[in-house]
Amino acid sequence: MTVAVESAAPDKSRPGPLTRLRRGYQKYWYAYAMVTPVVVVLGVLVGSSAA
């Protein structure tokens, strides 16, 4: 079995957390769009039952 591993070159710097977050959102925007309404509805239901 062969495993390909990217070598970390010393001149390549890792992108910052905001850059990684933005790239992740750009890549998985549809997943966030599908999950957000469910999270909002559950938040409203839990918030209204706690009051």
Token code pair at residue 27 = 């890549």
pLDDT band (50, 70, 90) for residue 3? confident
pLDDT of residue 8: 55
N-to-C CA span, the chain? 57
**pTM for this prediction:** 0.54
Q: d(Cα 24, Cα 29) in Å, to the nearest integer? A: 8
| Residues contacting residue 23 through CB under 8 Å, at least 6 positions apart | 15
19-48: average pLDDT: 93
Q: In this model, does residue 38 exceed pLDDT 70?
A: yes
Q: In this model, does residue 4 exceed pLDDT 60?
A: yes
HSE-up (13 A, CA, CB side) for residue 13: 4
